[in-house]
Amino acid sequence: MSTRQTADDAVHENAAQDVVAVEADDTAIETVNRLEAHTGDGIRHRAFTALVFDRDDNVLLARRAPGKRLWGSYWDGTVASHPAEGQSQEEATRERLAEELGITDDQYHDLRVTDRFEYKRYFENAGVEHEVCAVLQLTLSEVDLEPDREEVAGLLWVPYDRLRNSPEDYRQLRLCPWFEIAMRRDL
């Protein structure tokens, strides 16, 4: 066990997963243990956040399940995660949309990467995010959702322009840092 891991971390589900460590320009270096990438000072790695819109330009926010190790119960863009080695951002997004919300490929046709940024944020005493985060966007033609309660504690459709231009109207929502950064940039 690493000196940065505790006995509790060793049994955490993230300890059995890898992420792709990257240079600042998102060039892959190697795979690293997901838990190691999120502890201590962190290891910069590849991630994504996807923003799902309806036809009226509302964005779907998802409240992270309370049991999440980092930012549990915080509101996020629709889905966020890490692509596996060899997996594209789009493939990883499709996978998470299906797993977390039951969204199938036939509910959208315009999935695309709209931005990429690097950030580093610590969360309480639990860990750190140091990510090169791709932002993906899509519009649902059909908004039937089947959220996985192990991943998603709540859903909320919000007028995107209002959220972006008047975040003070939503200050009661605790937003994940990567989503706050993504929504303040041009999509």
For 160-187, write each residue's pLDDT tens digit.
Answer: 999 988 878 887 888 889 999 998 886 6
Q: Is the pLDDT of residue 98 over 90?
A: yes
Q: CB burial class (10 A; 0-12, 13-18, 19+) of residue 180? A: middle
For 137-163, write each residue's pLDDT tens digit.
Answer: 999 998 889 999 999 999 999 999 999
Q: Note the pTM of the prediction, 2 decimals.
A: 0.87
What pLDDT is recorded for position 184? 83
What pLDDT is recorded for position 8? 47
What pLDDT is recorded for position 186? 67
Q: What's the distance, CA 137 to chain centroid?
A: 12
Cα–Cα nearest to 77, from 137, 126, 26, 119: 137
Query: Of residues 112 and 68, which shows the higher confidence score?
Result: 112
For 68-96, write each residue's pLDDT tens digit.
Answer: 888 888 899 999 999 999 999 999 999 99
For 7-62, write each residue's pLDDT tens digit.
Answer: 444 455 656 789 999 999 999 999 999 999 999 999 999 999 999 999 999 999 99
The dihedral built from the CA positions of residue 7, 12, 17 and 20, taken in this order, carries a sign that is: negative
Catalogue all structural domains in the chain, each as residue range(s) with its CATH number.
7-183 (3.90.79.10)
**Residues in a beta bridge with 51:** 137
Query: Of residues 170 and 99, which shows the higher confidence score?
Result: 99
Helical H runs in the chain? 7-10, 34-37, 89-101, 160-165, 177-183
3-state secondary structure of 120: strand
> What are the catalytic residues?
131
Question: CA-to-CA distance for 13 and 111, rounded, in angstroms?
Answer: 29
Q: The tokens of 117 are what?
A: 């940024």
Cα–Cα nearest to 22, from 48, 39, 50, 47: 47
- 54 Cβ contact partners less than 8 Å away, ≥ 6 residues apart: 60, 139, 140, 143, 157
Q: DSSP character for 173?
A: S
Q: Is the pLDDT of residue 100 over 80?
A: yes
